[in-house]
């Protein structure tokens, strides 16, 4: 708990609520005890005061603060509020309430309390200082601006206060004002020579960097360029990467390509491993020569530049240029063929480097290039691939073969000639996985792992595939081998170390096994991590101002605001919503009690791995507070919530309500919001999710599968006549008109006509939304005829749809033909 600073106590003015002298000194003593964390003694002193003056407001509030430090949360708030009631005009009491809320991460509430305190003591510097991060954290930038202005007025000699005001303006996108603040500070500091620590070149460099950034963001191209050029010559900005890349961007934006090229060239010389710089040089070339010869010239010039490090083909920038040239050449040309051959020979015969496929994978989208690559490769290893005699070549041969022929069996045969190579065996695992043969993928991954048990990546691969193969317990054992966090039991260590990829995969596997409790626990774990990432920001509001790392700070704030775009977050939300909805539906059916009993029974028999964990916990000597994962590791309390639907609402509705532009919410989240809204008959919210999912669609052709699904489901759901459904229906009609459809049935026909032969995801969406097996059967036939090879996850979704829709055996056979080795389809 943050100690209550002395300024607060000092500010306790003798008013009519003042204490008698003896109690006043006790009050000071209580505060000192609190500060040195002698909470129990402090509490006794508080009681002593209260015996003499029973309803003394500030003492009551202080006692609240003390009890909070003793972990008595409820009592703490009770006392703080009682204290306030006694002495509503005490800024100390308001301050304490603010501190309590801040401690509990209730920043909005804390901010309100601080503002009340400031109303009573408007110039309290400490209150202002503590309020500003609260406002930044809750994105109350208007409020932050006012606070910062006040702080500056109080102490205009402090550099920090000027930067703080500039940042507040910046966060409100008031670039001009932010720049004016920086200018003013520069003038004042130059005139009076205060606040400048000449020795601290880094800080001043960071500030100049920030100014440059503001100029760029303000689109003041001319000024930005001029400033960058000044800094380039006077060395005020120490970091040349930022300086040169800003200069390059701004020069390009303002049309000065020659200048932009110069800067990109300098950047490339400094860091030749950067494809963006290379592109920048090429894009801004004014010589008029063709791209390929330009790249050759760049390659030669850079190659001459320094050590032998860049003289070989496997290193940037020579490689970057070589690949760039291949991108631009015609796949049928002799030039392309010879260059590919040179690259291939270098990688496979000289360097034996296994990364060739990764590098040229991009060219397989071009049929002519693929063919040439095939010809060249066969000329090296023979038509029957008899020349594949080393690992690097085998790795390439297998990937190439799978890409050209689609024959995973053949590709795996090539790799199986190298059973002692962890790389080859791991690639086998990848190949099995790519065709849906999860059991075999897992077996191969285990073999690869055994070949090099110190390689954590192989361990992770085995764990991931164990989950796909339905071996959750084994996956846990595997992941425990590497996940350590001091003496913390491994289950908790996974959580502490935020191993999200595993938590999500583990939750998905649990869901597939019907273990709602465990799935919900692990999805919730990921959601909690994201809440923590948001929370992690808090300390940096003050820290970055002190460190002058303002540019990075602004990036952080903006990144935090977009955290929900991260796929991990979206998967967790979707997963958790899925669990809550299943629990909700389950609970309202007759089977509820049975299902819950089953969950209980499973939960009471934890896996071997977990029971070992808890026994190791018992033997550890030091008593530790058990972590969130240790308490209820299987999520029993989560599935026991009284109203699962309400939990789902709490999770997703704010996403829609708080979004400034709901259309920017990704499909995954919109679907989740929609499902919850529909389940709770919140049709208006559901309609808002549908509108958002439409984005810029103007016809059935440009409609996303998600938008179609949501639209049809809403149309079919809103049939019971009521004022709300009438509203929704008229909204739907507007939406339909916007994409030139007469009705949802017409929309489906149109969508099928446009997309039915294009991708399986669209067919799946149609079938799922309408429940009409004929769309499914007709769609599969069309896709089959068109020679489309759908993605594995779409086929797996189609397979589960095929069962619920009871489609023809022919359709099922089509699905199986796409992935004959897939576990789920057999």
Partner 1 sequence: MVTIRRATPADLLAMQHCNLQCLPENYQIKYYMYHLLSWPHLLYVAEESDGTVVGYVLAKMEESAGTSDASAGVSSSTGSNQAAPTRHGHITGLMQIAHETMREEYKVTYVSLHVRVSNQAAQHLYKDSLGYQIHATEVRYYADGEDAYDMRLWFVPSRSRKHD
Nearer to partner 1, 461 or 739 (CB): 461
- Nearest approach, Cβ of residue 579 and partner 1 (Å): 23
Site residues for partner 1, 278-317, by CB under 8 A, read 309, 314-316
Q: Which of 332, 547, 617, 682 binds partner 1 (CB under 8 A)?
A: 547
Q: How far apart are CA 537 and CA 526, in angstroms?
A: 17
Site string for partner 1, 695-724 (x = CB under 8 A): ------------------------------
Q: Number of C-alpha atoms within 13 angstroms, CB side, residue 114?
A: 27
Q: Does 524 bind partner 1 (CB under 8 A)?
A: no
Q: Does 202 bind partner 1 (CB under 8 A)?
A: yes
* CA nearest to 374, candidates 425, 340, 324: 340
- Nearest approach, Cβ of residue 531 and partner 1 (Å): 12
Nearer to partner 1, 588 or 625 (CB): 625
Q: Which of 456, 624, 716, 742 binds partner 1 (CB under 8 A)?
A: 456
Q: Which of 284, 299, 460, 613 binds partner 1 (CB under 8 A)?
A: 460
- Nearest approach, Cβ of residue 794 and partner 1 (Å): 20
Long-range contacts of 49-55 (CB under 8 A, 24+ apart): 49/19, 49/23, 52/20, 52/22, 52/23, 53/19, 53/20, 53/23, 55/82, 55/86
Site residues for partner 1, 220-239, by CB under 8 A, read 238-239
Instruction: Give the sign of the dihedral formed by CA 324, CA 325, CA 327, CA 328.
Output: positive
Q: Does 510 bind partner 1 (CB under 8 A)?
A: no
- Nearest approach, Cβ of residue 271 and partner 1 (Å): 6
Site residues for partner 1, 773-792, by CB under 8 A, read none
- Nearest approach, Cβ of residue 452 and partner 1 (Å): 11
Q: Number of C-alpha atoms within 13 angstroms, CB side, residue 262?
A: 8
Q: How far apart are CA 468 and CA 436, in angstroms?
A: 9
Q: How far apart are CA 201 and CA 223, in angstroms?
A: 23
Q: Does 461 bind partner 1 (CB under 8 A)?
A: yes
Q: Does 240 bind partner 1 (CB under 8 A)?
A: yes
- Nearest approach, Cβ of residue 400 and partner 1 (Å): 13
Q: Which of 34, 357, 377, 819 binds partner 1 (CB under 8 A)?
A: 357
Q: How many residues bind partner 1 (CB under 8 A)?
A: 76
Q: Which of 49, 242, 295, 507 binds partner 1 (CB under 8 A)?
A: 242
Q: Does 485 bind partner 1 (CB under 8 A)?
A: yes
- Nearest approach, Cβ of residue 274 and partner 1 (Å): 5
Nearer to partner 1, 440 or 529 (CB): 529
Cβ atoms of residues 676 and 644 within 8 Å = no
Nearer to partner 1, 482 or 628 (CB): 482
Site string for partner 1, 369-408 (x = CB under 8 A): -----------------------x--x-------------
Coil, strand, or helix at residue 53? Answer: coil
Q: Which of 13, 25, 350, 362 binds partner 1 (CB under 8 A)?
A: 362
Contacts with 56 (C-beta within 8 Å, 6 or more apart), sequence order? 17, 19, 23, 49, 50, 86, 87
Q: Does 205 bind partner 1 (CB under 8 A)?
A: yes
**Tokens 């040239």 identify what position?**
325
Q: Could you give phi then psi for residue 8, rounded to 5 degrees? A: -65, -45
Q: Does 354 bind partner 1 (CB under 8 A)?
A: yes
Q: How far apart are CA 511 and CA 635, in angstroms?
A: 13
Q: Does 759 bind partner 1 (CB under 8 A)?
A: no
Radius of gyration of the chain (CA): 33
Q: How far apart are CA 551 and CA 214, in angstroms?
A: 9
Distances (CA, A) of 753 to 233, 359, 709: 63, 38, 16
Q: Does 486 bind partner 1 (CB under 8 A)?
A: yes
Site residues for partner 1, 109-148, by CB under 8 A, read none
User: Of the listed pieces 468-476, 490-498, 735-743, 750-758, which binds partner 1 according to CB under 8 A?
Assistant: 490-498
- Nearest approach, Cβ of residue 208 and partner 1 (Å): 13
Q: Does 270 bind partner 1 (CB under 8 A)?
A: yes
Q: Does 483 bind partner 1 (CB under 8 A)?
A: yes
Nearer to partner 1, 249 or 709 (CB): 249
Nearer to partner 1, 496 or 725 (CB): 496
What is the distance in angstroms between the CA of the first residue and the CA of the last residue of the chain?
58
User: Helices 723-738 and 705-717: crossing angle, nearest 10°?
Assistant: 150
Q: Which of 100, 408, 427, 509 binds partner 1 (CB under 8 A)?
A: 427
585 token code pair: 């539906």
Q: Which of 55, 501, 585, 817 binds partner 1 (CB under 8 A)?
A: 501
Nearer to partner 1, 392 or 676 (CB): 392
Q: Does 274 bind partner 1 (CB under 8 A)?
A: yes
**Strand runs labelled E in 80-172:** none
- Nearest approach, Cβ of residue 366 and partner 1 (Å): 16
* CA nearest to 323, candidates 305, 350, 342: 342
Q: Does 59 bind partner 1 (CB under 8 A)?
A: no
User: Of the listed pieces 163-171, 537-545, 594-602, 670-678, which binds partner 1 according to CB under 8 A?
Assistant: 537-545
450 token code pair: 């055994």
Q: How far is CA 678 from the centre of its chain?
A: 27
Q: Does 434 bind partner 1 (CB under 8 A)?
A: no
Q: How far apart are CA 44 and CA 791, in angstroms?
A: 69
Nearer to partner 1, 481 or 727 (CB): 481
- Nearest approach, Cβ of residue 357 and partner 1 (Å): 7
Distances (CA, A) of 487 to 456, 614, 618, 623, 624: 20, 12, 11, 11, 10
Nearer to partner 1, 242 or 340 (CB): 242
Contacts with 635 (C-beta within 8 Å, 6 or more apart), sequence order? 517, 518, 519, 520, 521, 522, 524, 603
User: Of the listed pieces 65-73, 532-540, 637-645, 649-657, which binds partner 1 according to CB under 8 A?
Assistant: 532-540
Nearer to partner 1, 60 or 392 (CB): 392
Q: Which of 6, 153, 230, 271 binds partner 1 (CB under 8 A)?
A: 271
Q: Which of 27, 363, 540, 683 binds partner 1 (CB under 8 A)?
A: 540
Cβ atoms of residues 393 and 387 within 8 Å = yes
Distances (CA, A) of 293 to 298, 310, 543: 9, 19, 50
Q: How far apart are CA 815 and CA 790, in angstroms?
A: 9
Q: Does 448 bind partner 1 (CB under 8 A)?
A: yes
Longest C-alpha distance within the chain, in Å? Answer: 101
Site residues for partner 1, 321-340, by CB under 8 A, read 323
Contacts with 556 (C-beta within 8 Å, 6 or more apart), sequence order? 537, 540, 544
Q: Which of 57, 83, 143, 320 binds partner 1 (CB under 8 A)?
A: 320
* CA nearest to 83, candidates 61, 65, 63: 61
- Nearest approach, Cβ of residue 464 and partner 1 (Å): 10
Q: Does 358 bind partner 1 (CB under 8 A)?
A: yes
Site string for partner 1, 552-591 (x = CB under 8 A): xx-xx-xxx-----x-x-----------------------
Nearer to partner 1, 461 or 599 (CB): 461
**Which one-letter DSSP state was computed for residue 350?**
I
Q: How far apart are CA 572 and CA 258, in angstroms?
A: 48
């Amino acid at each position: 708990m943050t100690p209550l600073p002395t300024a607060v106590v000092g500010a306790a003015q003798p008013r009519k609520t003042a204490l008698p002298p003896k109690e006043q000194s006790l009050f000071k003593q209580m505060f000192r005890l609190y500060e040195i964390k002698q909470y129990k003694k402090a509490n006794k002193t508080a009681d002593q005061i209260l015996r003499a003056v029973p309803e003394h407001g500030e003492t009551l509030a202080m006692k609240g603060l003390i009890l909070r430090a003793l972990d008595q949360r409820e009592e703490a708030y009770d006392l703080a509020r009682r204290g306030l009631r006694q002495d509503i005009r005490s800024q100390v009491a308001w301050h304490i309430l603010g501190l309590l809320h801040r401690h509990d991460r209730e920043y909005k509430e804390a901010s309100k309390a601080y503002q009340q305190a400031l109303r009573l003591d408007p110039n309290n510097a400490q209150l202002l200082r503590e309020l500003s991060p609260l406002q930044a954290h809750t994105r109350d930038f208007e409020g932050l601006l006012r606070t910062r202005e006040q702080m500056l007025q109080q102490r205009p000699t402090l550099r920090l206060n000027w930067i703080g005001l500039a940042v507040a303006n910046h966060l409100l996108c008031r670039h001009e004002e932010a720049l004016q603040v920086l200018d003013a500070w520069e003038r004042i500091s130059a005139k009076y020579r205060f606040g400048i620590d000449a020795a601290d070149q880094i800080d001043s460099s960071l500030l100049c960097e920030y100014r440059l950034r503001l100029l760029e963001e303000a689109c003041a191209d001319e000024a930005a360029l001029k400033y960058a050029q000044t800094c380039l010559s006077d060395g005020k900005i120490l970091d040349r990467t930022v300086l040169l890349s800003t200069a390059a961007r701004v020069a390009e934006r303002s049309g000065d390509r020659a200048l932009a090229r110069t800067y990109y060239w300098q950047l490339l010389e400094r860091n030749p491993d950067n494809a963006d710089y290379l592109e920048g040089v090429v894009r801004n070339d004014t010589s008029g020569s063709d791209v390929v010869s330009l790249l050759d010239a760049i390659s030669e010039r850079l190659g001459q530049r320094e050590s032998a490090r860049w003289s070989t083909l496997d290193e940037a920038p020579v490689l970057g240029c070589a690949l760039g040239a291949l991108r631009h050449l015609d796949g049928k040309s002799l030039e392309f063929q010879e260059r590919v051959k040179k690259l291939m020979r270098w990688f496979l015969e000289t360097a034996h480097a296994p990364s060739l496929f990764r590098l040229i994978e991009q060219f397989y989208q071009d049929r002519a290039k693929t063919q040439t690559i095939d010809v060249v490769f066969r000329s090296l290893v023979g038509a029957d691939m008899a020349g594949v005699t080393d690992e690097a070549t085998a790795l390439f041969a297998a990937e190439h073969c799978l890409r050209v022929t689609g024959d995973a069996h053949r590709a795996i045969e090539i790799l199986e000639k190298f059973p002692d190579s962890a790389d080859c065996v791991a690639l086998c695992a990848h190949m099995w996985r790519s065709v849906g043969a999860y059991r075999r993928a897992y077996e191969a991954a285990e073999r690869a792992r055994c070949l090099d048990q110190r390689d954590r990546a192989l361990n992770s691969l085995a764990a991931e595939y164990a989950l796909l193969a339905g071996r959750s317990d084994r996956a846990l054992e595997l992941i425990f081998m590497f996940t350590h966090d001091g003496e913390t039991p491994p289950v908790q260590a996974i959580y502490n170390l935020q191993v999200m990829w595993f938590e999500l995969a583990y939750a998905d596997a649990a869901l597939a096994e019907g273990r709602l409790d465990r799935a919900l626990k692990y999805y919730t774990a990921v959601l909690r991590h994201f809440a923590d990432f948001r929370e992690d920001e808090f300390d940096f509001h003050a820290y970055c101002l002190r460190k002058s790392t303002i540019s990075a700070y602004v990036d952080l704030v903006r990144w935090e605001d977009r955290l929900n775009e991260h796929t991990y977050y979206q998967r967790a939300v979707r997963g958790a919503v899925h669990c809550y909805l299943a629990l909700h539906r389950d609970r309202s059916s007759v089977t509820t009690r049975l299902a819950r009993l089953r969950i209980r029974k499973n939960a009471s028999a934890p896996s071997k791995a977990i029971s070992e964990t808890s026994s190791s916990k018992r033997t550890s000597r030091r008593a530790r507070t058990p972590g969130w994962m240790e308490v209820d590791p299987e999520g029993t309390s989560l599935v026991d919530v009284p109203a699962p639907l309400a939990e789902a609402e709490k999770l997703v509705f704010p996403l829609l309500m708080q979004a400034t532009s709901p259309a920017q919410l990704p499909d995954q989240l919109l679907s989740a919001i929609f499902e919850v809204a529909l389940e709770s008959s919140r049709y208006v919210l559901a309609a808002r999710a549908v509108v958002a999912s439409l984005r810029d669609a103007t016809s059935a052709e440009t409609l996303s599968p998600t938008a179609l699904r949501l639209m049809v489901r809403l149309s079919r759901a809103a049939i019971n006549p009521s004022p709300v459904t009438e509203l929704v229906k008229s909204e739907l009609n507007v939406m339909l008109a916007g994409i030139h459809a007469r009705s949802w049935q017409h929309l489906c026909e149109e969508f099928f006509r446009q997309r039915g032969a294009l991708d399986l995801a669209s067919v799946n969406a149609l079938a799922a939304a309408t429940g009409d097996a004929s769309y499914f059967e007709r769609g599969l036939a069309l896709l089959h005829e068109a020679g489309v090879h759908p993605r594995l996850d779409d086929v797996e979704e189609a397979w589960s749809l095929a069962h619920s829709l009871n489609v023809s055996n022919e359709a099922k056979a089509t699905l199986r033909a796409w992935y004959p080795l897939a576990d789920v389809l057999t």
